[in-house]
Structure 1
């Protein structure tokens, strides 16, 4: 019971207290002047975390992705209701991926390619027995276990390629079909 209370306290602090401290720091003094020098409104972070419109640079993508992963792991540890609480972070991850793909002048629908591989691998995993009777690793591709091993390896390579592209490729400079590039 104490772990659940600790997680709820963490969620409250992360959602209420930390933003209040951030607003107090960024709306005063030299940091505000730096924001205005860059042509931004003090405290503005771009589109909202669940917005699929606009563009996101590499820095915004990395910070959002790492933050979403940490929060999803912590909140997902809460039994039963954890999955429901994780859904907002899944939407935020899809949104920042969409904005990052827009920064690369690509369609946000491209993120469905690795997701399709992941869903296919999960479906095949449960067809072979799921967590009660997990498939063994087999390099004999004529067997269902071998085909699952090949699909799981292909899925890992597709995800690695997608996140390599999104995480490390520089954004396209200047305006594109999805909006202006970040001036910073």
Structure 2
């Protein structure tokens, strides 16, 4: 999946916490978020706040779908709230997809 397709997919599945998201879909979307937030922070703090709110739900949704892709629960994203322990999430996010279907559906394209 390329950058543009990943961003379109994640915004079209804005609040879809079901299904699976490939590694490339997740990381391309995270890159887009980082770029937008950096540019927004250079403009004004209110623009940054609005951009961060706009990305909040899609980032949580794609994160949950990414965890589903490796056979984990989306609720593991709550580890973000615990400093240092949230590094476990990065480990999960970089894991390869399960090639077979799991309880969350067929592998992402």
If the TM-score is normalised by the length of the shorter chain, which range does it land in? 0.7 to 0.9
C-alpha distance in 1 between matches for 2:41 and 2:78: 23
Corresponding residue of 2:45: 79
C-alpha distance in 1 between matches for 2:38 and 2:51: 11
Corresponding residue of 1:103: 69
- TM-score of the aligned structures, taking structure 1 as reference length: 0.48
After TM superposition, give the deviation of residue 81 of structure 1 in Å: 4.3
Corresponding residue of 1:158: 85
> Structure 2: where are the runs of 5+ without partners?
none
- TM-score of the aligned structures, taking structure 2 as reference length: 0.77
Alpha carbons 2:18, 2:65 under 8 Å: kept:
yes
After TM superposition, give the deviation of residue 46 of structure 1 in Å: 7.6
Over 3 Å off, 4+ runs = 44-47
Alignment root-mean-square deviation, CA: 2.4
Corresponding residue of 1:30: none
Q: Does 2:12 match 1:48?
A: yes
Corresponding residue of 1:70: 35
Alpha carbons 2:13, 2:58 under 8 Å: kept:
yes
C-alpha distance in 2 between matches for 1:76 and 1:162: 26
Residue-pair matches, total: 102
